Structure 1
Amino acid sequence: MAVTKEISYEDLKGLLGKSQNLLLVDVRTKEEVDKGRIPGSVHIPVDTVEAAFAMEPEEFKAKYGVTKPALDAPELVFQCQMGKRGGIATAKAHEIGYINARNYTGGYREWSEKEGK
């Protein structure tokens, strides 16, 4: 059975509330992230995703401050502003072997609207 490659605002909100295993990767530019971000997200710009997830775990942790997820990590989510770059990053992650990687298609735009930011 194919795992859905997208995640909704409600599902992401639920994971952020309860999951210790969620890795939420913000693939936007630094300028965008500086204006606001989803709490708990890790900033890895879209053009560096492939290199980042190819790193050794120690290097990944040193650079991003979080543990590099296993290839079968159940809760790896990418997000950008509106969904397009998140989709690109998710596809790259799938190519590398992250079978459960998902894209939060609403992106930060939907998040900030729903959160009233």
Structure 2
Amino acid sequence: MKSMTTKELEAKLAAGEALNLIDVRETDEVAAGKIPGAVNIPLGLVEFRMHELDKNKEYIMICRSGGRSGRATELLESHGYKVINMTGGMLAWEGAVE
């Protein structure tokens, strides 16, 4: 499983890279703040909404601590998607939130 740290993600965003971020936390968790531009697809819905994703794009999965996003990464990888897990999750995120 590919992974990246919160600092690596923050650097990519600061450099203006166009990234596809998916936050797999529950909607009430996301309401407290998410990385700008991240799309919320709760972990329990990823399997049912994966058809909305493009297999030609790379996605960075985000959750609270890295566990749920890791499970989402494994699920999507098993279906042929290019996915990276953000380790440490929002607990380790020091960048901007919306």
TM-score after normalising by structure 1: 0.74
Alignment correspondent of 2:70:
87
TM-score after normalising by structure 2: 0.86
Alignment correspondent of 1:115:
95
What stretches of structure 2 of length at least 5 have no aligned partner?
none
Q: Which has the higher strand share?
A: 2
RMSD value, Cα:
1.8
Query: How far, CA to CA, are the matches of 1:115 and 1:97 in structure 2?
Result: 30
Indicate yes or no: 2:58 matched with 1:78.
no
| One-letter amino acid of the structure 1 residue matched with residue 30 of structure 2 | V
Query: How far, CA to CA, are the matches of 2:21 and 2:85 in structure 1?
Result: 10
Q: Which has the higher helix share?
A: 1
Q: Which has the higher contact order (CA 8 A, sep 6+)?
A: 2
Percent of paired sites with the same residue: 34
Query: How far, CA to CA, are the matches of 2:76 and 2:2 in structure 1?
Result: 11
Structure 1 runs (4+) greater than 3 angstroms displaced? none
- The alpha-carbon deviation at position 51 of structure 1 amounts to 1.4
Alignment correspondent of 2:17:
19
Indicate yes or no: 2:27 matched with 1:30.
yes
Bigger radius of gyration, 1 or 2? 1
Query: How far, CA to CA, are the matches of 1:85 and 1:32 in structure 2?
Result: 13
1:50 to 47, 54, 57: 47
Query: How far, CA to CA, are the matches of 2:56 and 2:11 in structure 1?
Result: 20
Query: How far, CA to CA, are the matches of 1:35 and 1:10 in structure 2?
Result: 21
What stretches of structure 1 of length at least 5 have no aligned partner?
61-67
Query: How far, CA to CA, are the matches of 1:7 and 1:72 in structure 2?
Result: 19
